[in-house]
């Protein structure tokens, strides 16, 4: 990469606006990132299929992290796709950190016998649409799961016995919005971010400055794993409860706040080098120079 900068970002409520899923407010800054060939690593609880669709809309051709750190995926031909540990994965190459969905579902089947839980794998696309508010196409992409099972429990509090049963099977449960998520124990965004940084670092042999942006508790491990953590406010302007060293708070929620604070960071860290004419075609990361 031309600039020693890697940006990891959550999607919903961070790069994408609440409700509308628009990234319009970040348009100018996204263009700047492209011009400076700075990798933007989408780091989400969304599935591989959902993120690929979004990368297309954003015009991105960078690695990404799917399903809360379940896997790191590389676009075809990306220089990192041949790193040790990367395997072919449904037309991509990736480093798998989570447990296979079939394993998660088998353990979920045991939970279903004891508790009133209902997972994505038990739902039709219509039901997923109804519970998530996603349109049909998006719901179908969300149903294509590799590592995690979102599920509903018909009460506000999930009984401790469910978490205990998951832990006994080597899994963990996290809460994300109205869904709980069953996934491999020790899997989180932070671990996947640290691994991605290590891979880039190994390839470029350059000290990389890392930035992370998120808005919710499942982003905290990612924010703890980067040099410049950024927290975005919710739609009502309040921030999730996080207090870590060097934390920055974006001035607005969603894409507008994202665009402003990333632009500021670029000014501070990278713009000088970009302006100095170091912005030739990227060759060390191997991403398409014409993205
Ligand atoms: Mg979010």
Q: For residue 44, report the distance from its CA to the centre of ligand 1, in Å.
A: 8
Q: Are 23 and 17 in contact (CB under 8 A)?
A: yes
Q: Is 172 exposed, middle or buried (0-12, 13-18, 19+ CB in 10 A)?
A: middle
pLDDT given at position 287: 42
pLDDT greater than 70 at residue 290: no
Tokens representing residue 153 in the block: 């429990």
Q: For residue 275, report the distance from its CA to the centre of ligand 1, in Å.
A: 32
CA 221 to chain centre: 11
Q: Residues 122-160: pLDDT tens digits?
A: 999 999 999 988 999 999 999 999 999 999 999 888 999
pLDDT given at position 210: 96
Q: Any residues with CB less than 8 A from the CB of 176 and at least 6 apart, and which?
A: 45, 68, 150, 216, 218
Q: For residue 180, report the distance from its CA to the centre of ligand 1, in Å.
A: 14
What is the rounded CA–CA span in Å between residue 60 and residue 39? Answer: 9
Tokens representing residue 93 in the block: 């190459």
Q: For residue 11, report the distance from its CA to the centre of ligand 1, in Å.
A: 6
Of all residues in the chain, what percent carry a pLDDT higher than 90?
A: 76
Name the band, by pLDDT with cuts 50, 70 and 90, for residue 11.
Answer: very high
Q: Which residues are catalytic?
A: 10
pLDDT given at position 273: 65
Q: Are 50 and 42 in contact (CB under 8 A)?
A: no
**E strand or H helix at 225:** none
Q: For residue 176, report the distance from its CA to the centre of ligand 1, in Å.
A: 9
What is the rounded CA–CA span in Å between residue 75 and residue 289? Answer: 13
Q: For residue 25, report the distance from its CA to the centre of ligand 1, in Å.
A: 16
What is the rounded CA–CA span in Å between residue 210 and residue 87? Answer: 25
**E strand or H helix at 210:** strand 209-214
Name the band, by pLDDT with cuts 50, 70 and 90, for residue 67.
Answer: very high
pLDDT given at position 220: 95
What average pLDDT does range 158-163 have in this prediction?
Answer: 94
48 by DSSP, 3-state: which?
helix
Q: Residue 231: what are its φ and ψ, rounded to 5°?
A: -105, 135
pLDDT given at position 291: 36
Name the band, by pLDDT with cuts 50, 70 and 90, for residue 286.
Answer: very low
pLDDT given at position 207: 85
What is the rounded CA–CA span in Å between residue 172 and residue 251? Answer: 34
Q: Residues 210-219: pLDDT tens digits?
A: 999 999 988 9
69: nearest Cα among 153, 172, 169, 156 = 172
What average pLDDT does range 37-48 have in this prediction?
Answer: 96
pLDDT greater than 90 at residue 30: yes
pLDDT given at position 274: 56
Q: For residue 117, report the distance from its CA to the centre of ligand 1, in Å.
A: 24
What per-residue string of b and e applies to 18-29 under the rule 16 or more CB within 10 Å gives b?
A: eeebebebbeeb
Q: For residue 1, report the distance from its CA to the centre of ligand 1, in Å.
A: 27
259 by DSSP, 3-state: which?
helix
CA 88 to chain centre: 20
pTM of the predicted model as reported, rounded to 2 decimal places: 0.89
- Per mean pLDDT, which range of 51-55, 91-95, 280-284 is the poorest? 280-284
Tokens representing residue 96 in the block: 């798998």
Q: For residue 109, report the distance from its CA to the centre of ligand 1, in Å.
A: 28
Higher pLDDT, 226 or 82: 226
Walk me through the domains of the chain, giving residue ranges and CATH numbers.
5-98+188-278 (3.40.50.1000), 101-184 (3.30.980.20)
Of 96-100, 172-176, 272-276, give the range with the top mean pLDDT: 96-100
């Amino acid at each position: 990469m031309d600039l020693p900068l890697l940006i990891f970002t959550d999607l919903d409520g961070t790069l994408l606006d609440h409700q509308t899923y628009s990234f319009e407010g970040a348009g100018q800054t996204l263009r700047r990132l492209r011009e400076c060939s700075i990798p933007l690593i989408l780091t989400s609880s969304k599935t591989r299929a959902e993120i690929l669709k979004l990368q297309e809309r954003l015009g991105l051709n960078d690695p990404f992290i799917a399903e809360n750190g379940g896997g790191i995926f590389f676009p075809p031909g990306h220089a990192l796709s041949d790193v040790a540990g990367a395997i072919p994965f449904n037309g991509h190459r990736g480093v798998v950190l989570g447990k296979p969905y079939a394993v998660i579902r088998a353990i979920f089947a045991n939970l279903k016998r004891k508790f009133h839980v209902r997972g994505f794998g038990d739902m039709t696309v219509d039901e997923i649409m109804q519970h998530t508010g996603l349109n049909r196409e998006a719901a179908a992409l969300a149903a294509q799961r590799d590592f995690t099972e979102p599920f509903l429990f018909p009460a506000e509090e999930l009984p401790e016995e469910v978490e205990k049963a998951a832990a006994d099977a080597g899994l963990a449960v996290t809460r994300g919005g109205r869904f709980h998520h069953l996934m491999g124990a020790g899997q989180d965004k932070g671990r996947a971010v640290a691994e991605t940084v290590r891979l880039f670092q190994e390839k470029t042999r350059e000290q990389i400055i890392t930035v992370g942006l998120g808005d919710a508790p499942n982003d905290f491990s990612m924010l703890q794993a980067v040099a410049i953590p950024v927290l975005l406010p919710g739609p009502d302007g309040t921030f999730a409860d996080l207090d870590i060293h060097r934390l920055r708070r974006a001035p607005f929620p969603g894409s507008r706040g994202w665009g402003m604070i990333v632009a500021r960071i670029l000014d501070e860290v990278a713009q000088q080098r970009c302006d100095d004419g170091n912005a030739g075609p990227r060759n060390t990361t191997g991403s398409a120079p014409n993205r």
